[in-house]
Every structure is written in C-alpha cells, then in structure tokens.
Structure 1
Amino acid sequence: MTQTHTDSYQRDDGRAVRLTYAEPEGVVRGGLVVLHEAEGVTDGVRLLTSSLAGEGWLAVAPHLYEAGPADVDALTCDGVLAATDATLAWLMDRGISADLLGVVGFDIGGTAALVVATRRELGAAVSVGGPGISKPVSSDIPPLVDVAGTLVSPWLGIYGDTGEEVDVAEVELLREAASAASVATNVVRYPGANHRFDADPEAAAEAWERTLAWFDAHLR
C-alpha cells in the first residue's frame, strides 16, 4: 500500500493549508483532490488517498477543518474553494496539467465536491454520498438541487438507498437537477448500500470501479 504523507503548503495569500497525499509508484496519470468526510482526515481517508495512488493518481486531501459538528456547521463555499484551489495549485506545481485534474468527495466531502464542480472547470468530479441535497448543511452551502444545474465539470453522484441519512426521492431530485447542466452527469443508486457503503461490500466494490471509470473516461 502506498504510504501517505502530511505537509503544509503555502498559499498565495500567505496562509498555509495542511495536505495529506499519496504518490503513485509508477507513471502519474493525473491529480485528484480528495475532499474528506465530516470527521476530517481519518484513517479511512488516508486509505482512500493511498488506494487512488495505487491506481496511478497523485491524490491529495486538504484538511478542511478539525473534527466536530460545529466545524461542519461553519463550512463555507469560500473556505472549500480556497482549500481546493490551493490543492490544485500544489498538484500543478508537481507537473499535473489542468485537463488531468479532478475532485472526489465522500460523505460531506461529496457535498463539497459537487459545489466545487459548479464553480471550477475540472476534468471530472465524483461525489460518493453527501447530505445537503434539499436542505443546506450549513448557512453558506446552498442546497445541492439549487446549484446542480450549473455544474461546469463532468459529475458522477453515487448514493446508497438505505439508512436514516438517505432520502431516495431527494437523490432523484438531484439527478433531475444535474441533468440540466451543460456537462456530462450521472447519478447511480445502490439499493443495498447505506451512505457509507459499509453495509454492502459488493456495492462498495462496484462503486469504486465506477469512480475509477469516470476518471478514466474524462481525465485523458
């Protein structure tokens, strides 16, 4: 398994952002910004980052906030975009061209990934789960159904159907809203999976392959 590292990266405004990243052992296919779950950069996020590196992607997760629901409530569009922009700059500093840059997010990171994909023209974006479809996750993050039609990066949404955190009708509303965008979009639902995909290993494996295939198709 590819090892992860954590460093600080100095932004143009003088502030530093913490980044956890993993580098491929062979040829680098492109760069992926990994937007983490509500608990922050957990062991699961590190495993994901390492796994993406194992597929040939230079994968890097900006530390959006420290753990805790109060910090999630304070999540802002400007904060997410600033952290993403700094991470994209870090990737480009390492020779990744703009057409080979993408973003992927899980849980609340999935929410953030869609927001980023409405504001930044990237090669591809993937959201695996994520709240805030009809009701905003914070006072500064809009409901996703309100902005999905303005997507400017090809976007794939992957959602499980089971669990208290899942509302199938909302996911279908998001599918409809995203279909109005001028870029390629797709929403895939898994009936046996919950929002973390740990209830259905087969669905989790298939969702992983779909994620890789989306990046393969659009980052080239």
Structure 2
Amino acid sequence: MSPSACVASWQSIDPRRPDEVPLRCWWARPADGPPRAGVLVLPEVFGLNGWIQGVTERLAAAGYAALAVPLFARTAPDLELGYGPDELALGRSHKERTRTDQLLADVALAAEWLQEQLPPAAAGLGCVGFCFGGHVALLAASLPGVAATVDFYGAGVRSGRPGGGPASLEVVPTIGGTLLCICGKEDLLIPAADVAAIETALAAANAARSADSPAGWLHRLVVLEGGHGFMCAARSDHHPASAEAGWSLLLETFAQQLGPDRHRAGA
C-alpha cells in the first residue's frame, strides 16, 4: 500500500449515553478524496495492534473510511498485544469479561460516529471482524444501518454469546443486510458441527427473505484452506493463498453492497 493512499491516526470517541464508555479507535480514510462508504473493523482478542491497524489502513486505501473499534473498552481500552501464548491468555481473560449488551453499545456508538463522518453520497456501513471480533461482527450485523458484514472465523457462535445467553446464531434472522461467514477448513475452534450449524442458520434466513429482496442480498458461508487466524501474517496459522482469497471476498462483498470498487492502489 502506498504511504499516501490513506491518512490514519488514533481517534477518541466520547460516550453519548449512560451505558457507553470512551472508545480509543484507529481511524483511517482515503487520502485522495471522500470515502464511498464506512467500515467498522472489529479485532481479535489481541486488541488494536499493528495488524488490525494495517487492515484498517488497507480498507482506507481501497476507498473506505475505516474505524477499528476496541472490544475491551471497559477493561483494557488501550490493549495492543502480540501473538505469543502469554498475550493470548491475557486477551482471552478480557474476552471472558465482556457482555453482549456492552459490546453492541460500543459498536453502535462507533457506527453512529462513523456515519457522521461520511459525506451524504456515501453508501452506508460495512463491518468486518476477526476471531472474537468475527463473533461480535455477527451480532453487530443486526444493528440498524449495517448493510454488509464479513465474519472471519468467529468461533463460538453456535454455543452461546459473550456474557452468556442463547447462541449468537439466533440473531441471524434479524439481520437486515448481508452476512458472509468465512472459516478455515482446519480451524480447531470451529468444529464441523459448528460449520454445519452456521450453514443451516444462513440458509434458513435466506429462505425466509421476501421474493422482492435485492438481488445478491443473501447470506453466505465460505470455507477456505487453513486454520484459525489464517488471514494474519503474524500468526502461526497464516495461509497466504487463503488470506488473499479472503481479502478478495471481503472487497467483493463491500463492492456489491456498498458501491463499486474504486480499484485504489494496494487494495
């Protein structure tokens, strides 16, 4: 990606309601013109580290205003971890302290702020999440105004939701936009039964959609080669070919639902 393809910096978002907290986000936007849409980026348990910042900047270079949102704003608002076993344990300890209502409140606040930064002609909001962020992205897909969501290897959506409660897959019928779930074939955190449950939930929601739904507004599941975290070059399960395919699917989904791809350098 060309250094001039985007402008990026830390952005503080102040709470607006009693149930909200301040958010320290990574904010990136195109350097050579207005964005055509906005995208929320939801991180792994490792926080807003260098890789997530890079994903956010890559989206900005592709023409989107992209905002990476901290998922541990109440317990570790400045978290930026590497990928070692101790960092994984620390990140998971914060994940276990999250609640779905608080996570959705944080994402909704970020979405509200991001929408305000977009020009009137911008096409709307997308959302992408990885690992725990992928799980939260599936939940956030039910928020008003989120038109397209890509959930990369969001584990645990069949068995429950953050803080307890019914399976997160139960929100799929309430999603108004499109949801693309992408899993790795060798992902030990998403067993075959979970993959089948995801496929069944998406198919049922598609079948329930009215016949006059816009063409292409169907949920999808794609299984690629690789294990958990295959998109990230800093992780042991990184699978370059699948990472490239996953990025292409991401851009294809947003191009279809949020407007035509501007083919920016580095996209």
TM-score normalised to the size of structure 1?
Answer: 0.90
Q: Give 1:73 deviation, angstroms.
A: 1.0
> 124, 146, 163: which is aligned to 1:100?
124
Task: Classify 1:152/1:140 alpha carbon distance in 2 versus 1 (closer, same or farther; 3 Å).
Answer: farther
**Code of the aligned partner of 2:249:** R
The aligned residue for residue 234 of structure 2 is none
Task: Classify 1:48/1:141 alpha carbon distance in 2 versus 1 (closer, same or farther; 3 Å).
Answer: farther
Matches of residues 1-220 of structure 1 in structure 2 within 5 Å?
1=3, 2-13=6-17, 15-27=21-33, 28-65=35-72, 66=76, 67=79, 68-96=91-119, 99-136=123-160, 138-140=162-164, 142-181=166-205, 182=209, 184-190=218-224, 192-197=225-230, 198-220=237-259
Task: Classify 1:62/1:151 alpha carbon distance in 2 versus 1 (closer, same or farther; 3 Å).
Answer: same
Query: Larger radius of gyration, structure 1 or 2?
Result: 2
Which shows bigger deviation, 47-56 or 132-141? 132-141
**Code of the aligned partner of 1:108:** F
**Code of the aligned partner of 2:11:** D
Asked whether the 8 Å contact 2:59–2:65 carries over to 1, the reply is yes
Determine the C-alpha separation between the residues in 2 that align with 1:162 and 1:16: 37
Task: Classify 1:6/1:153 alpha carbon distance in 2 versus 1 (closer, same or farther; 3 Å).
Answer: same
How many residues were matched structurally? 219
Q: Give 1:131 deviation, angstroms.
A: 1.1
**Code of the aligned partner of 2:45:** A
**Code of the aligned partner of 1:56:** G
Asked whether the 8 Å contact 1:166–1:194 carries over to 2, the reply is no
Higher relative contact order (CA 8 A, sep 6+): 2
| SS at 1:52 equivalent | helix
Determine the C-alpha separation between the residues in 2 that align with 1:145 and 1:16: 28
Q: Which runs of 5+ in 1 are unaligned?
A: none
Task: Classify 1:184/1:11 alpha carbon distance in 2 versus 1 (closer, same or farther; 3 Å).
Answer: same
**Code of the aligned partner of 2:155:** P
Task: Classify 1:114/1:40 alpha carbon distance in 2 versus 1 (closer, same or farther; 3 Å).
Answer: same
Q: Give 1:4 deviation, angstroms.
A: 2.9
Determine the C-alpha separation between the residues in 1 that align with 2:218 and 2:25: 29
Q: Give 1:141 deviation, angstroms.
A: 5.7
Determine the C-alpha separation between the residues in 1 that align with 2:221 and 2:98: 25
Asked whether the 8 Å contact 2:37–2:258 carries over to 1, the reply is yes
Residues 27-86 of structure 1 show CA distances to partners (whole Å, capped at 9, x for unaligned) of: 311100111111111111001001111101110012121253222012222212111121
Q: Which runs of 5+ in 2 are unaligned?
A: 80-90, 210-216, 231-236, 260-267
Q: Give 1:3 deviation, angstroms.
A: 4.8
Q: Give 1:163 deviation, angstroms.
A: 3.6
Q: Give 1:96 deviation, angstroms.
A: 4.5
Q: Give 1:93 deviation, angstroms.
A: 2.0
Residues 138-192 of structure 1 show CA distances to partners (whole Å, capped at 9, x for unaligned) of: 33364233332332221111110114223133112111112222352000001x2
Coordinate RMSD, CA, aligned? 2.0
